[in-house]
Structure 1
Amino acid sequence: MRGAALVAIAATIGNFLQGWDNATIAGAIVYIKNDLNLGTSVEGLVVAMSLIGATAITTCSGAISDWLGRRPMLIMSSMLYFVSGLVMLWSPNVYILCLARLLDGFGIGLAVTLVPVYISETAPSEIRGLLNTLPQFTGSGGMFLSYCMVFGMSLMDSPSWRLMLGVLSIPSLLYFAFTVFYLPESPRWLVSKGRMLEAKRVLQRLRDLAVEWLDTLLGANSITCLLALLDPLRGVT
């Protein structure tokens, strides 16, 4: 269970970044409006662009993750966070800023929709409910830390909204490292694609199951048994 818990914590960094972004733009928009001389409508559009991006990507994120896998989409989410942070740090005008916010929204949408699915497909039933509270917890933690950062920067003589928004790229690098080098693919997704041996290795890591037990299970009735083992609705472990 320890392996599944650590994997869930690493995955929810994406939700941490979502909370971070939501809080940062709330404080930075005051400085953006003054610096770029924005009207009320454009000001609202800058804030809303991430929500527009998140809403748009959620319409197809499930189907794409069923095709490509959960892990590749989480990697894509981390990359979108990182790129959007760099672009916001550089943004010379409101058009580039809106584009960066849109990319940021794509990253948010992927994380918010896929992290709970990923946790459900990797966590044992005994702690599945507990681990599925992590996205909300880490999102709130991201908001709190971001508000602290914005408050600290607001005390500077010349607060930089670009720096406020661009800091996002730093924790997104950590998220990228975890998704690439630490997070395994969902064992349930692997089974659905017939990749039984890979699913076996992931299960051994997540659940600390004996090799002999899994060998017996796979030899007896591989697809049926492993699907039952991984079914989040049945709660069988």
Structure 2
Amino acid sequence: MSTLTGAPQLELAVEDAEGVRLAASIGAARVELCAALAETDGITPSIGTIERACRVGLPVHVLVRPRPGNFTYTDEELEVLERDVEAALDAGAAGVVVGVLAADGGPDVPALRHLSEVARRRHPAAEVTFHRAFDAALAEGMDPAEALARLERAGVNRVLTSGGSPDCTAGLPMLERLVELGRNHAPSVQIMAGGGVRLELMPQLVHSGIHAVHTSARGLDPATGTRARGADPLLAAGMAAALRKAA
């Protein structure tokens, strides 16, 4: 399992090999590789995209999410998740990013444990991240200590969360609480802050005790006023520098 010591690591969300090269240039620890980030908040990228991204040399963690929408899956969809986990690791990924919720709205331990075991059969050192389905669980009233304990039992390495809020600014108090709860209920699970991460928030995130920061570093498109499709290199570099300075 992952160590929980040291300064927070930076993870950049990207869609292609160019994004991985940008992440490497600013000193990010790894990337989350996904497709259709702007349109769907991310779904599973193609095998060709994964293979090219993994050639860059930075650890690639592949989002395995077969469709947009909720995180409760049919048996057939769980089979797709399993095959995509295997394929991503066979293509060279260092880890996978998944999220499955049970009928009670919390993390689905049997499904997650199975996916974790599938991943580590393919690559013993593979890391498993639970994505922002965790925030959906918190929003449904799931006890955060129980949610973290489930991830620990399922063999998950880290959880990506905005503290159950729309963004990390609003979720900062819960992020701090999750760090505290994790020490007792999920000591092997890293808390990775993600969702609306802003440059000026870095000192507060570091102070909260989180173990990693996740961002797409996408600025606003001046033509449309909406989030740009790809990372802004200057913003990404600024975020990396701010994180190092705050740490």
More helix by share: 1
Which TM bucket (shorter chain)?
Answer: under 0.3
TM-score by length of 2: 0.23
Give 1 or 2 for the bigger CA radius of gyration: 1
TM-score by length of 1: 0.24
The structure with higher relative contact order (CA 8 Å, sep 6+) is 1
